[in-house]
Chain A
Amino acid sequence: DPKIIQKPKYLVAVTGSEKILICEQYLGHNAMYWYRQSAKKPLEFMFSYSYQKLMDNQTASSRFQPQSSKKNHLDLQITALKPDDSATYFCASSQRGWQDTQYFGPGTRLLVL
């Protein structure tokens, strides 16, 4: 059974719309992360949460907002979508923090037209 679930697997959106990417982990971890991978750039760290609190934010745009409704959830809301937002978004989790092994979800592939 998958331990980190990301929904949806694929997502197509129109420019200017808003989407929410879902991430749930069933590893009992306390830290969760979002990364982005696009054709132009390597894996980029976006956010880290620990015990449902934002620890680090490396995303320049406020259009990207993480949302943690439960300890094992960290969703990513993206507003005013742009074609440059097209990428695969990976969620990850670790037991406590950075120095613990991070486990990655399968990713959500977002295409903005």
Chain B
Amino acid sequence: AQSVTQPDARVTVSEGASLQLRCKYSYFGTPYLFWYVQYPRQGLQLLLKYYPGDPVVQGVNGFEAEFSKSNSSFHLRKASVHWSDWAVYFCAVDSNNRIFFGDGTQLVVKP
């Protein structure tokens, strides 16, 4: 069955450090993949989306993600984290007109 797994419930990084949030997907074929961010007490906002094509996708606020079919992964990266990036990040896959979300990864930014 199609799904996404975010193996890290919580990731802590220092401000200015680089970031990688992991996402593994399970899907037959080539999926449509998304990363969303949820700031405290707010709804979700789309960071970026992958449609079949260039495996590296650029998003907002300096985020990017790389699709890997061989690894079934869609990891999110940022070169330099800012304190305002403190939020929960959700990986999601589009399958048969439904979106399945992962459990989310809480990003904590240390000063």
> A55 CA to B44 CA in the complex, in Å?
22
Chain A's interface size range is 20 to 34
Is the CB–CB distance between A101 and B43 below 8 Å? Answer: no
Is the CB–CB distance between B97 and A56 below 8 Å? Answer: yes
Instruction: Find residues 27-74 in chain A having any chain B CB closer than 8 Å to their own CB.
Output: 42-45, 48, 55-56, 58
Instruction: Find residues 96-113 in chain A having any chain B CB closer than 8 Å to their own CB.
Output: 97-99, 101-107
- Whether a CB of chain A sits under 8 angstroms from the CB of B49 is yes
- Taking CB atoms, residues of chain A closer than 8 Å to B32 are 99
- Taking CB atoms, residues of chain A closer than 8 Å to B51 are 99
Is the CB–CB distance between A42 and B102 below 8 Å? Answer: yes
> A4 CA to B42 CA in the complex, in Å?
12
Q: How many residues of B contact A (CB 8 A)?
A: 20
Is the CB–CB distance between A102 and B90 below 8 Å? Answer: no
Is the CB–CB distance between A43 and B97 below 8 Å? Answer: no
Instruction: Find residues 68-108 in chain A having any chain B CB closer than 8 Å to their own CB.
Output: 90, 92, 97-99, 101-107
Is the CB–CB distance between B103 and A45 below 8 Å? Answer: no
- Taking CB atoms, residues of chain B closer than 8 Å to A44 are 101
Is the CB–CB distance between A90 and B44 below 8 Å? Answer: yes
- Whether a CB of chain A sits under 8 angstroms from the CB of B94 is yes
Interface of A toward B, CB cutoff 8 Å: 4, 42-45, 48, 55-56, 58, 90, 92, 97-99, 101-107
